[in-house]
Every structure is written in structure tokens, then in C-alpha cells.
Structure 1
Amino acid sequence: MKRHLGAILAAASFLTRLPMPAWVAKDSAAIAQSSRWFALVGLLIGLIAATLLYILTTVMGQALAVVMTLVLIIVLTGAFHEDGLADLCDGFGGGWEKSRKLAIMKDSQIGAYGVLALVSAFAIKVTALIQLPLDIACISLIACHAGSRAIAGLVAVYLPYAREDSNNKTPQKDAPLPFSNRIILCVSGILPLLLLPISCALMLLAVWLTTFIGLIKLMQRHIQGYTGDTLGATQQIIEIAGLIFLVIYYFQSPISN
């Protein structure tokens, strides 16, 4: 039991800025082994976000509450995945060859593509969550945070690691994800979809699958593999795709009824 708890807390230490007990292992090997719990940590982040949104809406209205919730979640996660999205857009948009794309992605400076990606991502999230009824917005946060981290965790199953150097912060590259761990990852990511109508959940899965396939092809074309930045970008893009779909679904067939 303590071994599983340690792995879950190791995953939480990697994906959030939450303080962890001293006995929790935080080295690369421990993080790699804990990757099966990334979606479960995403579920926890989604629950925190949904709780914040619900409470803040009662005192400041939904529009401002959405912005405050997103800002607080960025603080909680340390903009971990947002950084990957910015780096992917800078690298894929600014480089011509694989080596140059990877070099740009590793550069700590942010370029125009990255800035535009972050501004666009934040704007889409804010607008989507404001348009949804409060209860659906809360459910959307839970589902999209869990599902996006599950899907990001599966990228390494279908692509090789793109960098040749060993000096990196991507623990998944040294630890293949066994089938049993993939099941844990997927179940944790899919579980929140039970909060949605079955038709909505199935269509959302289809949207995520289509987006995932598109991202895999994009990574293959640009760098013939994945990096830590592309995993973070995958999480962000899947989350955004989910929110956009839920807004469309709500307006076409209100889920609140």
C-alpha cells in the first residue's frame, strides 16, 4: 500500500508544486515508474480547479472566477505543461531541420509563436468555461484535466524519444509503459467521463482520439519522436480540444437538461 501511495505522491511532486513528505522518492527512476498515476493526479488537479471555480463564483461571479481559477491552477502546476506548449510552437514554427527545432525547444527564451500560443490557449479556456453553465464547467475541468494527462502519457507508447543527449528532464524515456500501467492511466483518465451523458462522453473520446492521432503525426513529421515539451503540449491541446467540444455539445444539445 505504501509503495503505491509513494508512487502517486511521486507523480504529484512531478506534476504539481504541492509539498510532499520527505520519504517520497523524487528521482528520475521513481518519477518514471509513477507515470501510470499521472491521470490520477490530473483528476486531483481537476477536482481542485472545479472546487475553486464553484466557491469563487459564489463571491465574484463566474467570469472573474474562471480567470482566478485558471491562474491558481497555473500556480499549482508551475505552468509545467504551458511551458511545453510554448516550446513546441516556437520549435515547430521557427525551425527548418529537426536539430534546429530541438535546439529552439530547449532554449529557455520564448518567441513570438510561444507567446501567441499561450495567449490563445488561456483565452480559449477562459471563454469556454464562461460560456458553460457552472455545473458543466466544473465537470469539464475535472474531465479535461484527467483525460489530457492520460493521453499525454500515452505518447511515449507510439513514438521514440527524439533527443540523443541524456541531459533532460523526461523520465518516461527510460521506462517503457507496461500494458497494465497503460490500463491504470486510461481508467484514471476516463473515469470522470461518467459525470457526462454517455453520448457526450463517447463523442469527447472520439475528439480526443482524433486530436491525439493528429499530434502524433505532427511530432513524427517535425522531430520523428517526442520530447518532454511535446508531452506538455499534448496535455494542453487535448484539454483545450475537450473544452471546445463541450461548448459545442452544450449549444447543440444542452447537457444540463
Structure 2
Amino acid sequence: MKALLAAVAFLTRIPVPYHWYQDIDFACVSRLFPLVGGLIGSVAALVLLATAPLFGQPIAATLTILSLLLLTGAFHQDGLADLCDGFWGGQTRERKLAIMKDSQIGTYGVLSLIGATLLASQCLAALPLAHAWAILIAAQGGSRMMSGYLPALLPYARQDGNSKTPQRLHRPDVRHLLVLTGSGILTLFPLLYLAPAPALALATVLAMASALAVMTGLQRRHLGGYTGDTLGATQQIAELAALLTAVAFFH
């Protein structure tokens, strides 16, 4: 329970008293990030289902994305913007890392945030409402599972300074990866109650795994490893991949 509370405090703006989890090793807490993603997706799903009858699904989809931003403090979106600024704004590995660490945002970062937000909103508006809520939960949990695999696939890219990235303290062992995978699979359960559940669930998982493969290759080529920003960016890309695949599935 302490580990779960620490994960909630790390990934969301939900106020959790520090003394409830102060003795927890954050490197181990990261294995529960998919469960928190499922919680985040559940809150967003409630917003979607509550507002769609009042305003119609397109507006409800926008309100749902805004609720996600408020709940998480745009935590992962910040990583996506930093990655785009660094990868395509710097020429050398060192320069890319420096740009990503800079608190200012550039053109690539702004465009990535606009594109990702619009795309997610359009996807939710295009999905059947009876399935959209379950896909939302699966995308939020599954995408955090995928980003959680990065520390097992790549070394940590930064060698200096402090970091808020818990995974950098150790390479995940088998137990860590099993718990991480189990946490992510739990968030897929809502899809299993909807037809055509197995095919849709498999399609979204394959889409997120493909996004992880692409992001791993990009990080290896640009940085030779991962950072906190690339973890957030990987989550965002995997989430969008799941939403786009679900839309293609129904169209």
C-alpha cells in the first residue's frame, strides 16, 4: 500500500501525505506505475461518460483530455516536448541532453504538444462511446507499462547531476518486470468485457509494443540510453498508438 501511495504521489497531483510513504524505495515503486495509469484512466473515463450525454462526444473528449492534464500535471507531456526539442534541435548527444534539461520550450516541443493533444482528443471523439472508456483505461495503464520496460532495454543516459527518475538507480530484475507486466495486464481487463474483446485488446497491446520498439531505437540512436524525459515521451507515444489503433480497428 505504501508503494502504491508513493506511485500515486509521483505520477499525479493527488495530495498524498509524505509520511505515508517516506520509507519506500522509489526504484521499486515504478513497477506499480501501470496501476496508477489505470486509476488515471478510470477518472478520465468517468469524465467522458458523464459529459458525453450533456455536450456530445467531441466536446466530452476534449474535456477528458483536459482532465488528464489536470490530474497528472502534464507530467509525461513535458517529457514529450523536451524529447522533441532535444532530438531535433541538437546535433550532438551532449547538446541534445542539454536542451532536454533546459526548462524553456522550443518550436518542436510546442508543436508536439499541440499535435498529441489534438490527436488524442480526436481519437476519443471517433471511438464508440461504449468502448472508448475501456480503451482509455487500457491506454493509460498499458502505456506506462511500456515505458517501464525502457530501463531494462537501455542504460541511463545522464552521468551527472541529480534526477527525479526512480528507475535510474538500478536495472530492473525479473521480479520487477513480472510485477510491472502484471500491473499493466490488469488495466486491460475492462476491454475483456466488451466485444470484440480479445482482438481489440491484442491490437492495442501490439500497437503499444511497436511504439516502445520505435522509441527504444530512437533513444539508442540519439542518446545511447534513456532519461526521465524519454520515459514520459515513450508513455505518450504508446498511448497515442493504442488510441489510433483502436480507431482504425472500428473504422
TM-score bin (small chain): over 0.9
CA distance in 1, matches of 2:9, 2:26: 9
Report the equivalent of 2:245. 245
1:14 equivalent in alignment to 2:10? yes
Q: 1:91 to 1:247 in 2, by over 3 A?
A: same
Q: What is the number of residues matched between the two proteins?
A: 246
1:133 equivalent in alignment to 2:128? yes
1:92 equivalent in alignment to 2:87? yes
Report the equivalent of 2:181. 186
CA distance in 1, matches of 2:60, 2:203: 28
Report the equivalent of 1:215. 215
Q: 1:225 to 1:131 in 2, by over 3 A?
A: same
CA distance in 1, matches of 2:187, 2:75: 22
- Residue 214 of structure 1, CA deviation: 1.2
- Residue 192 of structure 1, CA deviation: 3.1
Report the equivalent of 1:41. 36
- Residue 143 of structure 1, CA deviation: 0.4
CA distance in 1, matches of 2:21, 2:161: 21
CA distance in 2, matches of 1:90, 1:26: 34
| Equivalent position amino acid for 1:198 in 2 | P
Given that 2:151 and 2:168 are in contact with CA atoms closer than 8 Å, whether structure 1 keeps it comes out as yes
Given that 1:33 and 1:175 are in contact with CA atoms closer than 8 Å, whether structure 2 keeps it comes out as no
Normalization by structure 1: what TM-score? 0.92
Which structure 1 segments of 5+ residues have no match?
252-257
CA distance in 1, matches of 2:38, 2:26: 18
Q: 1:22 to 1:91 in 2, by over 3 A?
A: closer
| Equivalent position amino acid for 1:208 in 2 | M
Given that 2:157 and 2:226 are in contact with CA atoms closer than 8 Å, whether structure 1 keeps it comes out as yes
Report the equivalent of 1:254. none
Deviates more, 1:31-40 or 1:166-175: 166-175
Given that 2:35 and 2:186 are in contact with CA atoms closer than 8 Å, whether structure 1 keeps it comes out as no
| Equivalent position amino acid for 1:36 in 2 | R
Deviates more, 1:48-57 or 1:232-241: 48-57
- Residue 65 of structure 1, CA deviation: 1.2
CA distance in 1, matches of 2:106, 2:17: 37
Q: 1:139 to 1:234 in 2, by over 3 A?
A: same
Q: What pairs with 1:151-230 in structure 2 (closer than 5 Å)?
A: 151-194=146-189, 195-196=191-192, 197-230=197-230
Given that 2:209 and 2:238 are in contact with CA atoms closer than 8 Å, whether structure 1 keeps it comes out as no
| Equivalent position amino acid for 2:142 in 1 | G
- Residue 168 of structure 1, CA deviation: 1.7
Q: 1:26 to 1:128 in 2, by over 3 A?
A: farther
Match among 45, 48, 51 for residue 56 of structure 1: 51
| Equivalent position amino acid for 1:93 in 2 | W
SS of the residue aligned with 1:169?
Answer: coil
- Residue 139 of structure 1, CA deviation: 1.0
SS of the residue aligned with 1:218?
Answer: helix
Given that 2:82 and 2:99 are in contact with CA atoms closer than 8 Å, whether structure 1 keeps it comes out as yes
- Residue 22 of structure 1, CA deviation: 4.1
Which structure 2 segments of 5+ residues have no match?
none
SS of the residue aligned with 1:23?
Answer: helix
- Residue 21 of structure 1, CA deviation: 3.1
Given that 2:211 and 2:234 are in contact with CA atoms closer than 8 Å, whether structure 1 keeps it comes out as no
- Residue 186 of structure 1, CA deviation: 1.1
User: Aligned residues: percent identity?
Assistant: 48
- Residue 58 of structure 1, CA deviation: 2.2
SS of the residue aligned with 2:19?
Answer: coil
After TM superposition, the runs of 4+ consecutive aligned structure 1 residues lying more than 6 A away are none
Report the equivalent of 1:109. 104
